[in-house]
Amino acid sequence: MKRITGFFRIRPEERWPGTIALLAVLTLNALFVYRMAGKLLPIYRGKELTSNLLDNFHVSGFDPITLITISSWMHGYNVFRHPLLALFMYPFALLNSACEALFGVNCALFIAAAMMAACAFYSFIFIRRIFRDVLRLPAADANLLSALFFSFGYVMLITFVSDHFGFSMALLLFALYTAGRRMRGGRLLPTWQTALLLIAATGITTTNSVKIVLAQLSVNRRRFFSPRNLLLGIAVPAAALWMVCQYQYRTFIMPGEKVRYAANMKKRAAEAEKKAEKEKELKIAYAQADSAGRARIDSLRSRKPAVRTKMGRPISKKGFMLWTDVTTSRTRTITENFFGESIQLHRSHLLGDVLLSRPMFVAYDWTANYIAEALLVFLFLAGIWCGRRSRFLWLALSWMACDLALHIGLGFGINEVYIMSPHWLFIIPVAIAFAFRQASGRPLLALRVLTAALAAFFLLYNGTLLAGFLLTPVS
């Protein structure tokens, strides 16, 4: 137990950089509470609660499901994409109920802010430890690269937006740090630790399971394939999660789906009846109309309702493949969204929801934004080249490859790919750290100056936009 709690103990050298990071995170959370308090503090229940949050919570493509779940516990998450997330939120929902009784307001906003601040703070601690303990960088370089990471737009955003990505980012950084420590010490990643990481990470987001498996495979290599490890470390936790998913679906999800299905069938029947009556009226009018009138009626019959969509054509319209996309431009996605919006927010349509009013692609107003993006990608590629023989870097890149395959390859969530960026953005400064390790003298000085300039630019640019957004209460 001491070894586990030791991961969360703050070391003396982490106190000052950790304090600065914590103050920044607390400030962002306080501003978000200020922005949303007028709408989210009143106590609502049932449909009123959901409607209030859906009407007022508009931050990019993020969902208010966590706030809904804490406000009044219900199973709003997709149980097969987030198997344990609703159960993780249950104690906080109980805490909120007690706070409501005590203070007379919905305290979910404050509870979520505390959770997001804790996840963001430990994300900073874990990535800094990756630089210090795993890559053995000097403290100043570790601080600089950690600051670069937290200057990215969607890293700053997820420090206060109560979606599952904040939890996932902290856990993935913890897993990467743990794997790196094991690699550096020449030790195996134990089966029991893999099982716990697999359950926790997969419980938040199903796709994290692949990253945990890759982590143990990279650390243990051939020993990963031992029957005991495959059974107890992978198969048993996966089977347990599947059974929990099935139980939650049958207990919490299916009853509501049956009610909604019956209501939908009733609505469709009423619409079909109304359509039949309208068609009957048109037939009578058609029989009595002249040639010009019949032409107008023919035009009305042939007109199809406009379908507004910001998704490309899927591979298939069945099952999971319905959410894929094979036609959206990958070049523009990578430029404006994957390496764009994820790192530098766009001033136009700031934090707009692509499912509402934001276009799928928004161009930057300043050429400087594209120059900064190109310089960061250059540093990223240089870091990959410098660390090309590192097993640890290849582990990190294999994680990024999973996200690239899912979002850029298959096109899953490609229309708002930036909201998924906390799952992979930390790999950019980790790769750059290998350039820091290899450089010396003037090249190292130039690398530090360029990294510091980019971090300062991103912090100023993203921070100014976020401050303007957060200081405007929801009307």
Nearest to 341, CA basis, from 156, 76, 89, 148: 156
- Angle of helix 427-438 relative to helix 391-403, nearest 10 degrees, comes to 150
Rounded Cα distance, 48 and 281, in Å: 39
Q: Confirm if 208 and 85 have CB atoms less than 8 A apart.
A: no
25-34, 72-81, 262-271, 407-416 — which one is most confidently predicted on average? 25-34
Q: What is the pLDDT of residue 300?
A: 61
Q: What is the pLDDT of residue 356?
A: 83
Q: The pTM is what?
A: 0.90
Residue-wise pLDDT for 253-285, tens only, equals 777 767 766 777 777 777 777 877 777 776 776
With cut-offs at 50, 70 and 90, classify the pLDDT of residue 288. low
Tokens 């139980």, located at residue: 247
pLDDT above 70: percentage of residues in the chain: 90
Count of beta carbons in the 10 Å neighbourhood of residue 86: 23
Round the average pLDDT of the chain to a whole number and report it: 89
Q: Confirm if 338 and 417 have CB atoms less than 8 A apart.
A: yes
What is the sign of the dihedral through the CA atoms of 125, 22, 141 and 336?
A: positive
| pLDDT higher than threshold 90 for residue 463 | yes
Residue-wise pLDDT for 88-129, tens only, equals 999 999 999 999 999 999 999 999 999 999 999 999 999 999
| pLDDT higher than threshold 60 for residue 306 | no
**Three-state secondary structure of 122-164:** HHHHHHHHHHHHHCCCCHHHHHHHHHHHHCCHHHHHHCCCCCC
* Mean per-residue pLDDT, 319-327: 74
Q: What is the pLDDT of residue 3?
A: 62
For residue 454 the two structure tokens come to: 């980019």
Rounded Cα distance, 423 and 309, in Å: 26
Rounded Cα distance, 93 and 68, in Å: 9
Rounded Cα distance, 433 and 124, in Å: 15
Nearest to 175, CA basis, from 125, 122, 212: 212
Q: Confirm if 145 and 451 have CB atoms less than 8 A apart.
A: yes
| pLDDT higher than threshold 90 for residue 376 | yes
Rounded Cα distance, 336 and 347, in Å: 12
Rounded Cα distance, 303 and 280, in Å: 17
Q: What angle do CA 357, 468, 362 make, to 5 degrees?
A: 35
Q: Confirm if 441 and 449 have CB atoms less than 8 A apart.
A: no
Task: Calculate the alpha carbon distances from 69 to 180, 232, 327 in Å.
Answer: 35, 32, 35
Cβ neighbors of 89 (< 8 A, separation 6 or more) are 66, 69, 70, 73
Please, what is the end-to-end C-alpha distance for the chain in angstroms?
48
